[in-house]
C-alpha cells in the first residue's frame, strides 16, 4: 500500500518540514502521495509537483479549510485513510495538532516524533527529552506517525513529477472560529532548517541586546534562536524557542550565547553538527557538549566576532 504525507504550508508556500517528512516516508514505501489541503493553494501544489519521490498530489482546495484547523484536517485524513498503510506529518505544531485527533477517531494509536525507520512497523523515537531512545513497534493496521524533521535529510525539490488529483469532501462545520494568526515576519532562514543558528539566553539581559546577535546572523545567514528563559522574559517571541518544549534544530553550526545549557535546552539542539558556546561562567553545563567553548563576557565577545567575520575574505552561507 501507499504512504500519505500531509504537507505543511500556508496556502502560499510549502514548508521545508514537508521535505524531511517525505524523506522519512521514502524509507517506508516508495509510493508516496502528498495531501495539500487548504484554500487557493495552487501555488503550493505547483511547488510540490516536482518534489523528489512524490507520485501523486491530492489537492483539496476549499474555503472551509483555509486555516487548516485540526478538526477539519483530521476529517480529511480519516476520509483518505483506507487507501494508506501509513500517514505521516511533520512533528511540528502543525502535525502535532491534528494527527493524534485523526488517529484516535479511527481508534488507532500514534507514534510521535520518530527519528528513524527500522522497518515499516518499527521506528526509533527519543523519549525523556532525548535522554533515552526507544525502539517501538506499531500493531495498528494504519500507522499514524509524526516525524522529527531534523533526523531526516530533505528530499530534492526537483526531479519528481507527481500527478495531481483534485479531491472534494463535504466537511462538517466545527465549533471553532479562527480569529487571527500572528506570524513573526523575518527575512532570515527558517529556524528549523537554517544552516546556522545563533541563540541567545538570559545572559542577553533584554530584547534590545538581541541586535548583537542579529548583526552576526546577517553575516552568517543564520536564524535566531532563544532559550525558554529568554522567551519567558519577553526578550523575543515564542517562535524562536529551542528545546524540549520549543523547536528542534540540528544546524551545521549552533552558537549558544549566554545560555547555561539546561537539559531541556540541550534536548532541542544537541544534534547540531558543530556547537559553539559563549558564556562567562566556565562551569556552565553548555561547555560540556560544545565543540568550541569561549569563556567570555558576551557583550565584549559578540562585537569582536562581528569584526573578525568582516576580516574573512569569504563566508560560507
Partner 1 sequence: MKILVAVKRVIDYNVQIRVKPDNSGVEKDNVKMSMNPPDENAVEEAIKLKDSGEVTEVVIVSIGQEKCQDTIRTALAMGADRGILVKAGDDIEPLAVAKTLKNIVEKEKPNMVLLGKQAIDDYCNQTGQMLSAILNWPQGCFVSELGINDSAITISREIDEGLEQLEIQLPAVVTCDLRLNEPRFASLPNIMKAKKKPIEIIEIESLGVDTIPKVKYLKVEEPPVRQGGVMVADVKELIQKLKYEAKVI
Ligand X SMILES: Cc1cc2nc3c(=O)[nH]c(=O)nc-3n(C[C@H](O)[C@H](O)[C@H](O)COP(=O)(O)OP(=O)(O)OC[C@H]3O[C@@H](n4cnc5c(N)ncnc54)[C@H](O)[C@@H]3O)c2cc1C
Site for ligand X in 172-201 (CB under 6 A): 201
**Alpha-carbon torsion 263, 265, 271, 273, what sign?**
negative
For residue 6, give the nearest of 62, 50, 63, 72 by alpha carbon: 72
Contact yes or no for 287/279 (Cβ under 8 A): yes
Binding segment toward partner 1, per CB under 8 A, in 19-27, 38-46, 50-58, 178-186: 178-186
Q: Note whether 165 binds ligand X by CB under 6 A.
A: no
Binding partner selected for residue 212 from partner 1, ligand X, none, CB under the kind-specific 5 to 8 Å limit: none
Binding segment toward partner 1, per CB under 8 A, in 50-58, 99-107, 153-161, 198-206: 99-107
Q: Which of 3, 298, 302, 305 binds ligand X (CB under 6 A)?
A: 298
Contact yes or no for 284/303 (Cβ under 8 A): no
Q: Note whether 129 binds partner 1 by CB under 8 A.
A: yes
Taking the complex as a whole, the smallest distance from the CB of residue 276 to partner 1 amounts, in Å, to: 7
Q: Note whether 258 binds partner 1 by CB under 8 A.
A: no
Q: Which is nearer to ligand X, 98 or 287 (CB)?
A: 287
Contact yes or no for 43/13 (Cβ under 8 A): yes
Cell numbers for 113, please give them.
516524533
Q: Which is nearer to partner 1, 33 or 228 (CB)?
A: 228
Contact yes or no for 117/26 (Cβ under 8 A): no
Binding segment toward partner 1, per CB under 8 A, in 19-27, 42-50, 80-88, 136-144: 136-144
Binding segment toward partner 1, per CB under 8 A, in 32-40, 48-56, 203-211, 241-249: 241-249
Q: What is the DSSP string of 193-246?
A: G-SEEEEE-GGG-SSTTHHHHHHHHHHHTPEEEE-HHHHHTTSS-GGGBBSTTS
Taking the complex as a whole, the smallest distance from the CB of residue 242 to ligand X amounts, in Å, to: 6
Show the 3-state SS of 64-106.
Answer: HHCCCCHHHHHHHHHHHHHHEEEEEEECCHHHHHHHHHHHHHC
Q: Which of 53, 90, 192, 203 binds ligand X (CB under 6 A)?
A: 203
Q: Note whether 97 binds partner 1 by CB under 8 A.
A: yes
Amino acid at each position: 500500500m501507499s504512504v500519505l504525507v500531509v504537507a505543511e504550508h500556508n496556502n502560499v508556500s510549502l514548508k521545508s518540514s514537508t521535505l524531511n517528512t517525505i524523506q522519512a516516508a521514502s524509507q517506508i514505501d516508495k509510493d508516496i502521495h502528498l495531501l495539500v489541503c487548504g484554500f487557493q493553494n495552487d501555488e503550493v501544489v505547483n511547488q510540490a509537483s516536482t518534489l523528489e519521490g512524490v507520485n501523486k498530489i491530492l489537492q483539496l482546495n476549499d474555503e472551509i479549510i483555509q486555516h487548516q484547523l485540526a478538526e477539519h484536517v483530521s476529517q480529511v485524513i480519516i476520509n483518505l485513510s483506507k487507501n494508506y498503510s501509513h500517514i505521516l506529518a511533520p512533528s511540528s505544531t502543525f502535525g502535532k495538532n491534528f494527527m493524534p485527533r485523526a488517529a484516535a477517531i479511527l481508534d488507532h494509536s500514534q507514534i510521535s516524533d520518530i527519528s528513524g525507520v527500522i522497518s515499516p512497523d518499527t521506528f526509533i523515537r527519543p523519549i525523556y527529552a532525548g535522554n533515552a531512545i526507544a525502539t517501538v513497534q506499531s500493531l495498528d493496521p494504519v500507522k499514524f506517525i509524526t516525524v522529527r524533521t531534523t533526523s531526516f535529510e530533505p528530499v530534492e525539490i526537483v526531479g519528481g513529477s507527481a500527478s495531481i488529483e483534485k479531491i472534494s469532501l463535504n466537511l462538517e462545520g466545527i465549533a471553532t472560529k479562527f480569529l487571527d494568526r500572528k506570524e513573526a515576519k523575518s527575512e532570515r532562514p527558517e529556524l528549523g532548517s537554517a544552516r546556522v543558528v545563533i541563540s541567545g539566553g538570559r545572559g542577553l539581559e533584554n530584547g534590545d541586546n538581541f541586535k548583537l546577535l542579529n548583526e552576526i546572523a546577517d553575516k552568517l545567514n543564520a536564524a535566531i534562536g532563544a532559550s525558554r528563559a529568554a522567551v519567558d522574559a519577553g526578550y523575543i517571541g515564542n517562535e524562536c524557542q529551542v528545546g524540549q518544549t520549543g523547536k528542534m534544530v540540528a544546524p551545521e553550526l549552533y552558537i549558544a550565547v549566554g545560555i547555561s545549557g539546561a537539559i531541556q535546552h540541550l534536548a532541542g539542539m544537541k544534534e547540531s553538527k558543530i556547537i559553539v558556546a559563549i558564556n562567562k561562567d566556565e562551569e556552565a553545563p553548555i561547555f560540556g557538549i560544545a565543540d568550541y567553548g569561549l569563556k567570555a563576557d558576551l557583550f565584549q565577545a559578540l562585537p569582536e566576532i562581528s569584526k573578525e567575520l568582516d576580516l574573512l575574505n569569504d563566508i560560507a552561507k
